[in-house]
Amino acid sequence: MLNTIRNFTAIAIVVVLGLAASPAIAASGKSDKNKTAPTGTPVLWREPGDIAALDLLAGPGGEASKPDLSSVTFLEVVLGGYSTKYRVRDGVGREWVVKVGKEAQPEAAATRLMWAVGYNADITYLVPSVEIKGKGTFENARFEARPAGIERFGEWEWSRNPFIGQREFNGLKVLMVLFNNWDLKTSNNRIAHVRGTSGTDELRYVVSDLGATFGKTGNFISHNRNVPKDYAKTGFVEGTAGRKVQFDYHGKSKSVLADITTDDAKWIGSLLARLSDRQIEDAFRAANYGEEDVSLLAGEVRSRINELVNLK
């Protein structure tokens, strides 16, 4: 009897150890949050050039960088955040982080609009349906690239970074309000180290998680994400006071919006105004919204751009 118990225990230990090592249930042990970034030039924004010529359907990665969906293989679970995320390898061996759930669509759209006006943005694609070998089939999966040569390091803070007080940084904050991003927290921000060809490396400051957008802001009970009808019903600019803009915003880190001037807001508005209606719609088409929601979301974005441009 004693031998039987010992044998059963030994088998159980082997099974547990085997499951823990199995790639089918592996969880990511990799973290870029606590790494110390190397030296380099901090970069938040660069002149976008001919905004009217940009392809917002393809986004910052263009057509050539789209994931090869002929074979998508699960590598590991990526821990942290609201949404389920998987690290995968596509048919040509490139690695991606796939996000599924309510945050996938709004993030794909917001990324394109940020990129269009000159901000650092992750390369993302929204795939309407994909089979991930070892996990199953998923609808509306956001693929985020992990390009070779770009290494993600620690987080940056909204209240402490090299760009405080600069027009470009305040423009980024205006964009967050325009998207109704109620989740302005440090853990959603990353620094990407990019080696420069001329010997000067860049530290690119990125808002890496834009999933809590295109719904309504509010507290942990009232806010939501990816609800176009609610997004279209919410306010944007409440008014101005002493050349500072007051926003109808109810989310985390509201205090960081206090120093946005009318000049800052009009500047980012003037960049956004160079986008055509078609381009704004394409940002949402790229996120696989239906045409009714595309029209609703793009119309609200255009209305908010006009509010910025017409500030007094």
SS (H, E, C) 197-213: CCCCCEEEEEECCCCCC
What is the pLDDT at residue 81? Answer: 84
User: How much of the chain exceeds pLDDT 90, in percent?
Assistant: 80
Predicted TM-score of the model (pTM): 0.88
Domain count of the chain? 1
For 144, the 3-state DSSP assignment is strand
8 assigned to some structural domain: no
What is the pLDDT at residue 37? Answer: 59
Residue 169, pLDDT > 50, answer yes
- Among 81, 130, 133, which residue's Cα sits nearest to residue 107? 81
- H or E element that contains 31: none
16 assigned to some structural domain: no
- 110 near 65, Cβ under 8 Å? no
24 assigned to some structural domain: no
Q: For residue range 58-105, list pLDDT tens digits in order.
A: 999 999 999 999 999 999 999 988 999 999 999 999 999 999 999 999
What is the amino acid identity at position 44? L
What is the pLDDT at residue 156? Answer: 96
Residue 235, pLDDT > 70, answer yes
29 assigned to some structural domain: no
43 assigned to some structural domain: yes
Q: For residue range 10-46, list pLDDT tens digits in order.
A: 434 333 333 333 333 344 445 555 566 578 999 999 9
- H or E element that contains 231: helix 228-233
Contacting residues for 291 by C-beta, under 8 A, at least 6 apart: none
Beta bridge partners of 84: 100
Mean of pLDDT over the chain: 89
DSSP one-letter code for 140: E
27 assigned to some structural domain: no
Residue 244, pLDDT > 80, answer yes
What is the pLDDT at residue 18? Answer: 39
- 225 near 214, Cβ under 8 Å? yes
131 assigned to some structural domain: yes
76 assigned to some structural domain: yes
Q: Which residue has the higher pLDDT, 118 or 154?
A: 118
- Give the domain extent around 229: 35-309
Residue 281: burial class (beta carbons within 10 Å; 0-12, 13-18, 19+): buried
Residue 158, pLDDT > 50, answer yes
